Amino acid sequence: MSKLLTLENVTAFYGASQALFGVNLEIGKGEVVALMGRNGMGKTTTIRTICRMLPHSSGRIFFAGQNLEKMPSHKAARLGLGLVPEGRRCFSGLTVHENLLAASRDGYWTFQQVSELFPRLSERRDQFANTLSGGEQQMLSIGRALMTNPKLLILDEATEGLAPVVRQEIWSAMFKLKDEGLSILVIDKSLRELTAIADHCAILEKGATCWSGITADLVPDITDRYLGV
Amino acid sequence: MTRETTVNIALAIALLAVPIGAQFADHPFIITLSTKVAIFAIAGVGLNIALGYGGLISFGHAAFFGLGGYAAGILASQALNYEPLVTWPFEIQGTTQMLIIWPVALCICGAAALVIGAMSLRTGGVYFIMITLAFAQMIYYFAISWPAYGGEDGLSIYVRSKFPGLNTLDPITFFAICFALLIAVLGFSVLLTHSRFGLALSAARQNPQRLTSVGVRPFQVQLTAFVISGMITGLAGALYADLNRFVSPAMFSWHTSGEIMIFVILGGVGRLFGPLAGAALFILLEHLLGGITEFWQFLLGMLLLLIVLFARGGLIGLLAGGRGNV
């Protein structure tokens, strides 16, 4: 399987303090990869680095055959990185339809397609984003990322803080996206759901990749060692 | 039809009805006041694109108002003196044709806004306000010390610029031209704000980083909006020069920037017809209260304070409710 995203020994700093100490990650086309690790291990920082919101100081990041070094964030996004950030962060003063339209780029994903994936968004079409429930905002955030017609969908804390029923809806949508062949990098707290959807997993500890492999190899011994509280 | 649309239509009809009534009652001064409202509203519509939709608090829009005015003034003055504007490398004559003056004013203001915006947008918050103000004041002091076009005394134009087939010296005809342009820029503003560009501009105001992550560079969107905003305000300046048949450095001063901002705030920031409502209220207060006391601006200040504190949607917000774009 050809690699869509490759991170090789990536390090990154917040000011003087080092946050990533050597992250290695590979995502193939049509593959779902779960990025795991306890809180503060560098998952979000890794995503920020991939999306060029934080420059990496050493190592290499390749996406869709291009070196992302020195590439500004908006250009990386145009290459096909679709980010669903932690905490949703929809454009609160815009309606659902406007949120989706503001992000849209030509391709398979249109308002119609997003509405079919999340019928609730269609029902709330003219509602301002800040009047939506948390789950609806997360659907909108995923929809907004899809409207950019990404090659890789990146979800940071995909279902954090959502009611179980809504979580189930989000996971169902992600399974549909996987079935459609979209590459996905996902972070979430729910190990059960992550292992159900992911083809591969990578675990971060203290800002470095400590384990990676196919999901079937993620035995309890490893999860207890790296993910146990 | 929403309540705001009803209020907007009522305002447009009122602005049209007042000068028509004044024409029948033979009160040309009222027509001139209505024309002033239309021109100030155009300037406000321009600022509203940057301030209301883009969240760019420009305190230097007088620069564009003045540049538009001086473009009209200088072109007309050169034409009336039969002196070419430029002789080398090729000769360019002045003109009194509005259809030439307007595009020239739009181009000059667009170019100026591009330079000012490109520098100002690298900053944010209070620095953006101060840089836009500094640019306007820089041009103001340049105009004061430019004797070729009247310096501090300003420049008289003597005749109003011409429009093919119309007698622009007739107050109601000139009002009609300004009103038509106001409707045109309002229409353009609607198209702009409902386009993908307009939505991206709103998104850039709310969360620039998030907009970047969907592949849109906020700087480009905001700069484009700033340029369009400056051009529209410049068009208003060109019309204002023709209304008064006079331009002066006061058009560049920070008072003018403040007044354009007041039109927008009084009427409702980010409201389509906010600048029209604000400009109308301003002119009304100026002439009603100005006749009673010379301290009318104190009362205007009080009103502004009340609106900022208790009616953030401005006059349109009070009349139509809702939240507008901000």
Residue B51: C-alpha distances to residues B222, B260, B312 (Å): 10, 11, 14
Separation between Cα atoms, residue B16 and residue B9, nearest integer Å: 11
Highest mean pLDDT among B87-91, B98-102, B144-148: B98-102
Whether A169 maps to a domain, the answer reads no
Q: What is the pLDDT of residues B102-136, one digit of tens each?
A: 999 999 999 999 999 999 999 988 999 999 999 99
Q: What is the pLDDT of residues B68-78, one digit of tens each?
A: 999 999 999 99
| A101 interfaces chain B, CB cutoff of 8 Å | yes
Say whether pTM exceeds 0.95: no
* Cα nearest neighbour of B324 on chain A: A93
- Which tokens belong to A82? 């679709």
Cβ partners under 8 Å of residue A90, min gap 6: A99, A129, A130, A132, A137, A140, A141, A144
Mean pLDDT of A172-183: 96
A212 and A185 fall within a common domain: yes
A112 and A157 fall within a common domain: no
A1 and A75 fall within a common domain: yes
Domain of residue A46, CATH code: 3.40.50.300
Contact A102 B206 (CB under 8 A): no
Backbone angles phi, psi at A61, to 5 degrees: -125, 120
* Residue A64 β-bridge partners: none
| 3 state DSSP class of A149 | coil
Nearest CA-CA distance, residue A48 and chain B, Å: 10
Mean pLDDT of B13-26: 97
Mean pLDDT of B290-299: 86
Nearest CA-CA distance, residue A102 and chain B, Å: 5
Share of chain B above pLDDT 90, in %: 82
A73 and A156 fall within a common domain: yes
Whether A170 maps to a domain, the answer reads no
Which of A51, A92, A104 is opposite residue B206, by nearest beta carbon? A92
A21 and A107 fall within a common domain: no
Q: Is the pLDDT of residue B292 over 60?
A: yes
A2 and A75 fall within a common domain: yes
Q: Is the pLDDT of residue B293 over 90?
A: no
CA A40 to chain centre: 17
Q: What is the pLDDT of residues A102-148, one digit of tens each?
A: 989 999 999 999 999 999 999 999 999 999 999 999 999 999 999 99
Mean pLDDT of B58-72: 97
Q: Is the pLDDT of residue A2 over 90?
A: no
pLDDT of the residue at A229: 58
Q: Is the pLDDT of residue B247 over 80?
A: yes
Separation between Cα atoms, residue A121 and residue A139, nearest integer Å: 7
A vs B, Cβ pairs < 8 A, gives 66
Q: Give chain B's contact residues with A (Cβ, < 8 Å).
A: 196, 199-200, 202-203, 205-207, 209-217, 323, 325-326
pLDDT of the residue at B324: 56
Whether A41 maps to a domain, the answer reads yes
* Cα nearest neighbour of B201 on chain A: A102
Share of chain B above pLDDT 70, in %: 98
Which of B207, B214, B323 is opposite residue A148, by nearest beta carbon? B214
Number of domains in chain A: 2
B32 pLDDT band, cuts 50/70/90, is very high
Separation between Cα atoms, residue B297 and residue A124, nearest integer Å: 46
pLDDT of the residue at B43: 98
Separation between Cα atoms, residue A80 and residue A64, nearest integer Å: 8
Whether A104 maps to a domain, the answer reads yes
Whether A210 maps to a domain, the answer reads yes
A108 and A132 fall within a common domain: yes
Which of B199, B209, B323 is opposite residue A98, by nearest beta carbon? B199
Chain B residues in contact with A85 by the CB 8 A cut-off are 210, 213
A139 and A157 fall within a common domain: no
pLDDT of the residue at B169: 94
Mean pLDDT of A22-37: 96
Q: What is the pLDDT of residues B159-212, one digit of tens each?
A: 899 999 999 999 999 999 999 999 999 999 999 999 999 999 999 999 998 899
Whether A187 maps to a domain, the answer reads yes
Share of chain A above pLDDT 90, in %: 86
A30-39, A204-213, B303-312 — which is least confidently predicted? B303-312
A80-94, A137-151, B125-139, B246-260 — which is least confidently predicted? A80-94
Nearest CA-CA distance, residue A154 and chain B, Å: 11
Q: Is the pLDDT of residue A1 over 70?
A: no
A226 and A156 fall within a common domain: yes
Whether A157 maps to a domain, the answer reads yes
For A55, the domain range is 1-80+152-163+181-229
Backbone angles phi, psi at A149, to 5 degrees: 50, 60
Mean pLDDT of B269-275: 95
Q: Which domains does chain B have, with CATH numbers?
A: 3-320 (1.10.3470)
Contact A74 B326 (CB under 8 A): no
Q: Is the pLDDT of residue A187 over 50?
A: yes
Contact B203 A94 (CB under 8 A): yes
Whether A168 maps to a domain, the answer reads no
A117 and A216 fall within a common domain: no
Nearest CA-CA distance, residue B300 and chain A, Å: 30
A108 and A76 fall within a common domain: no
Q: Supply the ipTM of this predicted assembly.
A: 0.83
A111 and A25 fall within a common domain: no
CB-count burial class (<10 Å; 0-12, 13-18, 19+) for B218: buried
Share of chain A above pLDDT 70, in %: 99
Q: Is the pLDDT of residue B6 over 50?
A: yes
pLDDT of the residue at B326: 45
